[in-house]
Amino acid sequence: MQKNISRREFVKTSAALSAATMLSGGSGVFAAGSDKIRVGLIGCGQRGTGAAWDCAQSAPNVQIYALADVFQDKIKYTLNKFTKSDPSEASEYLGGRLKDEQMDISPERCFVGFEAYRKVLATDVDLVILAGPPHFRPRHLAAAVEAGKHVFMEKPAGVDPQGIRSVIKSSEIAQKKALAIVAGTQRRHQNHYIEIMKRVRAGDIGKIVAAQCYWLWGETDWHLNKRQPGWSDMEWQLRSWPYFTWLSGDHIVEQHVHNLDVINWALGSHPVQCIAMGGRQVRTGLEYGNIFDHFAVEYEYPDGVRVASMCSQIEGTTNRESERVVGTKGWVNTDAGNGSIEGQKPFIYDGTSPDPYIREHAALIESIRRAEPINEGRKVAESTLTAIMGRMSAYTGRAIKWDWVMNASKLDLSPEKYELGDLPVRPVAVPGKTRLV
Asked if 129 and 169 sit in the same domain, the reply is: yes
How many of the other CB atoms lie within 10 Å of CB of 91? 16
Asked if 227 and 317 sit in the same domain, the reply is: yes
Eight-state DSSP code of residue 43: -
Q: What is the length of the chain?
A: 437
Specify the amino acid at residue 220.
Answer: T
Supply the CATH number for residue 312's domain: 3.30.360.10
- The pLDDT of residue 33 is 41
- The pLDDT of residue 28 is 47
Q: For residue 296, what are the contacts with CB-CB under 8 A and spacing of at least 6?
A: 276, 277, 278, 308, 309, 310, 394
CB-neighbour burial class of residue 206 (10 A; exposed 0-12, middle 13-18, buried 19+): middle
Supply the CATH number for residue 180's domain: 3.40.50.720
Asked if 272 and 395 sit in the same domain, the reply is: yes
Do 171 and 148 form a contact (C-beta atoms < 8 A)?
no
Q: For residue 181, what are the contacts with CB-CB under 8 A and spacing of at least 6?
A: 141, 150, 151, 152, 153, 171, 174, 373, 374, 375, 376, 377
Handedness of CA 124, 126, 130, 135 (dihedral sign): positive
- The pLDDT of residue 11 is 23
Low-confidence ranges of the chain (pLDDT < 50): 1-34, 86-87, 89-92
- The pLDDT of residue 96 is 72
Measured in degrees and rounded to the nearest 5, phi and psi for residue 334 equal -135, 150
129 vs 49: CA distance, rounded Å: 10
Handedness of CA 394, 397, 402, 403 (dihedral sign): negative
Specify the amino acid at residue 72.
Answer: Q
Do 210 and 299 form a contact (C-beta atoms < 8 A)?
no
Beta strands in 43-149 (DSSP E): 62-69, 110-112, 127-130
Q: Is residue 421 part of a domain?
A: no
Asked if 136 and 165 sit in the same domain, the reply is: yes
User: How many domains in the chain?
Assistant: 2
431 vs 96: CA distance, rounded Å: 46
Specify the amino acid at residue 165.
Answer: R
Asked if 344 and 365 sit in the same domain, the reply is: no
Asked if 245 and 219 sit in the same domain, the reply is: yes
Domain of 81, in residue numbers: 19-187+360-376
Do 358 and 366 form a contact (C-beta atoms < 8 A)?
no
Query: CB-hemisphere CA count at 13 Å for 355?
Result: 14
- The pLDDT of residue 333 is 97
Asked if 200 and 345 sit in the same domain, the reply is: yes
368 vs 361: CA distance, rounded Å: 11
- Which of these, 79, 57, 77, lies nearest to 66 by C-alpha position? 79
Asked if 290 and 208 sit in the same domain, the reply is: yes
Asked if 173 and 264 sit in the same domain, the reply is: no
